[in-house]
Structure 1
Amino acid sequence: MQHSHPNLNYPYYGQPYHYYVPPGYPQAYSASGGNGTPEQYAQMHKDPNAFRDKHTNMHYYPQPPVQAGNYPATNGLQDQPPIHPPPRSTGHTPFPQTKQPLTNRPGARIPATKTQPLKSAMKKPKRSNSEAHAPLQRTRTNSDTRQRLVPMTRARTNSNPSYLPDHLFLSFLGTNELRIHNAAFQDTLDDIKEKVLPMWPSGVASQLTAGYSWRVTFSRNPWSASGPDGIIVRRMICELFARLAHQGYQYLCSVTSGYPAPQLVFQEVGPDDSADFFVAYFSRSGHRLTLIKPPRHIGETIGLRLRSAWPYKFAAHHVSEDEVYTVELKRNSLGAPELDKNVFASHALQEINMMGFRLVATVPLARSGLLGFGSRKEVWVFRGTQIKPRSRANSRTGRS
């Protein structure tokens, strides 16, 4: 079998031309796997282009006929299938082919024919004639509208301008001084100035506000007064508790350590317009109970309830025109009351509690008597819920 190679520019099939051995050609230099002498092989590595131009005919010439016999070892290319050149290898860089849709495969989409767009898409969009709106404005949240007692713009030493105290301290100092500490809002003090201070007939001597503190000095000595003036003072205390409750403060306890006078502690829990208060106090001997400004059903029935429990222990039940009710125990021949004062006080508290009021605070006042050597008076404060009469708008007037 004889092969001919008319084209001397043998195409490149992925193997260097100086290593390529045509099929059926015996190797002349089998030690290195080449197809020339050792000198030609060394020169081939130095300048392969010059060697190809000069010795072109040495590589390609007609092959001798293949006969049976022993041949030298080759590089093993005779046993391999013929190598076909890659498609479109014309000696230059092939151009990229455009991908065509395969319409014959399952699931392929055939491009639709070009149609005219819908009339709705051809219409020119038109802006809607909207009415002119008012300019946008930022609305404020429902913040607390109460005026601070200390404005934020005022710089004070040893204070935090963003801190608002929620516990109020109240004290009755000496015989004529009222002090309130940690009053955070101005309307709390304004309400007390409007409703409580005018109740004292002798008026106010001085007022002083410093930060969250407020000090009021009354003329004369209201905290040690007795008789009609003492009744007025107890009304003032009752109204003071009512004003604080309407402003959102509820009584917690009293503290005495570290202060010249007991401090009544109030906590801010929210306004309570339905809170109702009255005060009461016992005599020094403990045999007489006086109620000031109680609800009418309590003032009129407290004496009857106590007398029904001990029929022969109570002497009288007095009612005055200025809403003052008094219940007094009988005395024996030695002048002592017929009933123990602790039992009397306990049963009175029980009856008042059953009628909807409970004891919430006790307010100690200054000592009475000359030079303050008398007994210390104490006021008991009761709290309940105000009962408002129901009004029927569509009530019948008796006519059919």
Structure 2
Amino acid sequence: MTGPRMTGPLTSGPLTSATGPGIIVVGASLAGVRAARALRERGYGGRLTLVGDERHPPYDRPPLSKEFLTGPADAERFGLPLDGLEADWVLGRAAERLDPRRLVVALDDGTEMPCEGLVIATGSRARPWVADAPRRGVHTLRGLDDARALGAALAGGGPLLIAGAGFVGTEIAAAARAADVPVTLVDKAARPWIGRFGAEAAAFVERLHRDAGVDLRCGTRVEALTGDGDGDDRVTGAELSDGTSVAAGTVVVALGAVPSTGWLAGSGLALDQGVRVDAYCRALRTDGTHVPGIVAAGDVARWPHPWVPGRGLTLGHWSNAVEQAEVAARTLLFPQEPTAYRPVPSFWSDQYGVKFRSVGLPELADTVEVREQSTERRRLDLAYYRDGALVGALTANRAARTASYQAQLAAALALAPDGPLPGRQAATS
């Protein structure tokens, strides 16, 4: 489905004229829209086309696991601003193949779309439940239709089982408990968030959920989902690896996300849990060379960070999609003057009125300094170090401290962008 073209005055852009095939952005969510806006703001006046596999106009995703689930299902509140983009929209169509040599994107309806520049911003999809499952009552949460279906299920008030106590799983649990829905939260780890933030943060998060009435089952996992078996094939619960069973009328599989790179198979691009890009967001071939005219941004991109050499990062965070899209757009327009992407990763989550904020890469730490930890006052301040160097922080209801940590980490990256981790620094209140 092609949406109406947003008409307006076009000026000659630095990459192409208004009469050429222009730039295609594959992915009409946050990273894609921000890349498109950055192209326009940096002077690009040529043809601009955004392709998205959802039929909905672009919207913000973070609210889908929070207030949208139990509040008014008004997606317009979360729509992304599109004024001034002057773009063609191809919605409800998925990219199926890429020929990087000819710069041609093939869609699932057989349409071939040539371009002069390409932004890959296809994001990620929810990791599915791979074993047998009942047909009804089992959900994942990634897009607007997922959120609407899950919200309708929660409105029924039946018990909810969530498999996975990561960010999305705990946010859904908090939203459901706010609506007085009984919740069982299952995770194979000893506590929620422990793999990312360590024992101190995990104890804080665990206490919040238990105090809210969540039946938290840690150190076990969902082995099988059970159904009623009477032809309706609706989920009734789950069998856990510790031998216990849980009753549920709704199940959410919250086991993480997988970058959406299937359409790039056979393209020659380097695919490794995402599209491999260099420091300037240029897509890389399997031999490590970059592909002229192709950049990637957002959840789908695996990019090099100076503190994780060789491995690279993929981040499914709002701030990463916004910031990386800006750099990718600049690289595409001005390939001879690229700017390296060197952000301080950041993340937030709101649960039970507690505002969590994280900066840096706490998972790299070998030491955690507890500066404040009070579940009664709902405050947390943790500083993370590796070899004496500050690498990250996590706070709860301490936004000013988070800003201080972020400034210090940004200064460290600016001073030694390609060197070892910086020396230890102390954050101020």
Q: TM-score range by the shorter chain?
A: under 0.3
Higher Rg: 1
Structure with higher strand content: 2
How does the TM-score come out when normalised to structure 2? 0.24
How does the TM-score come out when normalised to structure 1? 0.25
Q: Larger relative contact order (C-alpha < 8 A, sep ≥ 6)? A: 2
